[in-house]
Amino acid sequence: MANSQEEWLGDGLPPVGLKGGTLPSLRRNFAWTSFGNIVFSGCNWAMILVIAKFGTPRMVGQYAIGQAVTGPIIVFAQLQLRYLLISDSDQSYYRFGDYLGLRMIAITLAMAVIAAITLGGHCGETAVVILAMGAFGSVEALSDIIYGLMQKNEQMRLIALSMALRGPLWLATMAAAVYLTRGLLWGVIGLSFISVLVLVLFDIPNGARLLSETAAGGQPGDPTPAPSLRRYARLAWLALPIGLTVMVNSLSGNISRYYLEENVGEYGLGIFAVVASLGGIVRTVTGALCQSVCPRLARLYAGGHRAGFISLLWKFIGISALVGAVPLAACVVAGEDILSLLFKPEYAREVEVLVWLMASGVQDCILSGLGTGLTAARYFRLQVPLSIVGLLTAALTSHLLIPSGGLRGAAISAFATSSCLLLCYLIAMYHLIHKSVWVTRGGGDAYSRKPGMGVGAPSNVGYEGTREREVGR
């Protein structure tokens, strides 16, 4: 096992299978991913700014409740197949077509669920906005699985360019719609149109080209969803634990918004959503790091490179914590001025809410790093009970704090939830690092586990058997 810097960066590991290609450097991947995420997240945040400036807090509240209703359903339907594909080091049993076919089926079912929930619990313009946001999320889910193919081959440049196309077009469409119609609906419909455009003109052609190149390089390249319900069912069962995890995490993040809508209405929810949007900027850089580091961590782990895995993981977590701490300090010193400068005066009164949310954001940055490490190691089922703990904490603290504390209570609830999750994920990562047996066997999925944690497949074990063992983690 090498001790050089190149090993913890993953340099020298075999390429995924691009014809005649080598893996791009981690620094280059991070640069491209940072560019894409900064443009994309910046434009997403600017859309909130546009709605807040040209519209009303109630319109922001409609946008927030649309995200809160559709978000958990869409992320569960995605089943995190993108990251399952990325960590699939062999892909000799499941082809990309299986991942794509399952995604299409799940998204269709998700839209039916969103329609039923919306028509049963909302009415008027808010209901139509929620349905439009569901359609928007469904289109984005199709691009997401193509991003998984690109990310598996560490072609982060393609993902970054796609995101950089989407972001400004979304922003321009939303700004024009809100300014001209003084409403939100046509803006959300425009977002769906832009997503379809980029999917058809950029994502699908580049995904097809990448599939042909990987096939030429000796990797499976079948782009067509295999018409086998049994294969879809097996893949869905494999992905179910991590799908449940992200759904529960999404519910944890949105449950305070459900309570806010009930207790302070769409106006108060809009105020909270605008203030909370600043925390999304903080997580942009850590999101870029997650996307860049996850494939490399997966290869290091699958190859049994324990020192390299641990070194890269802790460097990643340390940088993530620093990225969150700097904006927190700025908000403590000048939070009121920041809110006054960016938004309307009514938002500047919630500086205490901002500080609590930014403090929670620091812990969320660290949690992203720990979650990425567990996902790279394919510890899926372990994350389900951790996420349930977070959901229960969010529900309990929201129930106790929001009716009497309003927006401040929601912010404290977010901080308490992230604190509880951080403790749980640190314990889980300690178990992964110190309670696992790391064995390098010269290629493939060369690692093993102590009893009770599931067993990874040595190179002489059939791939289908490997899948069954991975479900047990």
Tell me what the pLDDT averaged over the chain comes to: 79
Q: Which has the minimum average pLDDT: 230-234, 302-306, 362-366, 439-443?
A: 439-443
**Percent over 90 (pLDDT), the chain:** 25
Would you say the C-alpha torsion 134, 77, 199, 151 has a positive or negative sign? positive
d(CA 30, CA 93): 30
pLDDT tier for residue 215 given thresholds of 50, 70 and 90: low
pLDDT on residue 201? 94
pLDDT in tens, 310-369: 888 888 888 888 888 888 898 888 888 888 888 877 788 888 999 999 999 889 888 888
pLDDT tier for residue 186 given thresholds of 50, 70 and 90: very high
pLDDT on residue 432? 80
Identify whether the C-beta of residue 358 lies closer than 8 Å to the C-beta of residue 282: yes
The token pair that represents 340 in the structure block? 């006054």
Q: Where are the alpha helices (DSSP H) in 55-123?
A: 57-78, 81-86, 96-121
Q: Give the mean pLDDT of 277-297.
A: 76
pLDDT tier for residue 53 given thresholds of 50, 70 and 90: confident
Q: Which has the minimum average pLDDT: 17-21, 205-209, 248-252, 418-422?
A: 17-21
pLDDT of 447 strictly over 70? no
Spatial CB neighbours of 322, under 8 Å, sequence gap ≥ 6: none
**Percent over 70 (pLDDT), the chain:** 82
d(CA 128, CA 115): 10
pLDDT of 84 strictly over 60? yes
pLDDT on residue 383? 74
pLDDT on residue 26? 67
